[in-house]
C-alpha cells in the first residue's frame, strides 16, 4: 500500500478506562464511575455518527474483569441492561445496528436476552454499527478461532495447508466487521489490555489522558483529528 494521509476512520475501537479511578478521586463508589461512563458511551455514539464513523467498538467488560468483586460485577450487569433498555430508542432513531462479541454465554441471562432483543431489532440498520465487547479477550478469541479451524480440518472440510491469515480472520467473533483504523485508550494507560489483538495489527494508537467518565464528543473529535494528521504506511517505506 502507498503512504497516505487517512480520512475519517471507518472503524474506531475504544478501551474505556478510568471509571474506578474517577470515582475514587471523588470519594464515590466504583459503580458511580461506571454510571457516568455510560453517559460517555451515549456521547461518543452520537459523535461517531456525526463524524461519519461506520463502526464503533467499545471494550465494556473483559474476561479478566470476572475477578472483580461480585457487587461491582452485578452493578455492571444491571447498568448494561438499563443502557440497552434506555437507549434502544436512540439506536432506532439514528439507524445504528447493535452487535456484541466475546464469551456472551458467560453473561447473566437477562443481559444476554436484552442484547439479543436489541440486536435483532436493529439488525437491518446500515447507518452505523455499535459493537460491545463483553466478557471479551483477544487471546481467547484467537484460541477459539484456532479450535474452529481445527474442527474443520478434522472434519475434512478444510485443508490444513490452506490455512492463512484470511482463514483465521474468517473464524473470529465478527469476521464481517473491518479491522479498527484507530484504537483509543482513555485515562493515559499505555497498554492494549488483550483487546482485539489480531485486528489492531495496523491500527493507529491514540492515548487520551482523560478518564472515560469525562470523555465526550470533543475528545473523540480530537482523536480523529490526530488520526487524520498521520501517515499510514502499512509496512511500506516513507
Grid cell 493507529 is found at 204
Q: How many CB atoms lie within 10 A of CB 158?
A: 17
Asked if 169 contacts 226 with a C-beta cutoff of 8 angstroms, the reply is no
**Positive or negative, the Cα torsion across 190, 195, 201, 204?**
negative
- State the catalytic residues: 17, 65
Q: Which helix (H) or strand (E) holds 96?
A: strand 96-101
Give the whole-angstrom CA distance, residue 106 versus residue 182.
28
Amino acid at each position: 500500500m502507498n503512504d497516505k494521509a487517512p480520512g475519517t476512520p471507518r472503524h474506531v475501537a475504544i478501551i474505556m478506562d478510568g471509571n474506578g479511578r474517577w470515582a475514587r478521586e471523588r470519594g464515590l463508589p466504583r459503580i458511580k464511575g461506571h454510571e457516568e461512563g455510560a453517559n460517555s458511551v451515549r456521547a461518543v455514539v452520537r459523535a461517531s455518527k456525526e463524524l461519519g464513523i461506520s463502526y464503533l467498538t467499545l471494550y465494556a467488560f473483559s474476561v479478566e474483569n470476572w475477578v472483580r468483586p461480585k457487587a461491582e460485577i452485578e452493578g455492571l450487569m444491571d447498568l448494561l441492561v438499563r443502557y440497552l433498555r434506555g437507549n434502544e430508542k436512540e439506536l432506532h432513531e439514528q439507524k445504528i445496528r447493535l452487535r456484541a462479541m466475546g464469551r456472551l454465554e458467560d453473561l447473566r441471562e437477562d443481559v444476554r436476552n436484552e442484547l439479543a432483543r436489541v440486536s435483532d431489532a436493529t439488525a437491518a440498520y446500515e447507518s452505523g454499527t455499535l459493537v460491545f465487547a463483553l466478557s471479551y479477550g483477544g487471546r481467547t478469541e484467537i484460541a477459539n478461532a484456532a479450535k474452529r479451524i481445527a474442527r474443520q480440518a478434522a472434519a475434512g472440510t478444510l485443508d490444513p495447508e490452506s490455512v492463512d491469515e484470511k482463514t483465521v480472520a474468517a473464524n473470529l467473533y465478527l469476521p464481517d466487521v473491518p479491522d479498527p483504523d484507530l484504537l483509543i485508550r482513555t485515562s493515559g494507560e499505555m497498554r492494549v489490555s488483550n483487546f482485539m489483538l489480531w485486528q489492531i495489527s495496523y491500527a493507529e494508537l491514540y492515548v487520551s489522558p482523560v478518564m472515560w467518565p469525562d470523555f465526550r464528543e470533543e475528545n473523540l473529535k480530537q482523536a480523529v483529528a490526530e488520526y487524520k494528521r498521520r501517515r499510514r504506511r502499512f509496512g511500506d517505506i516513507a
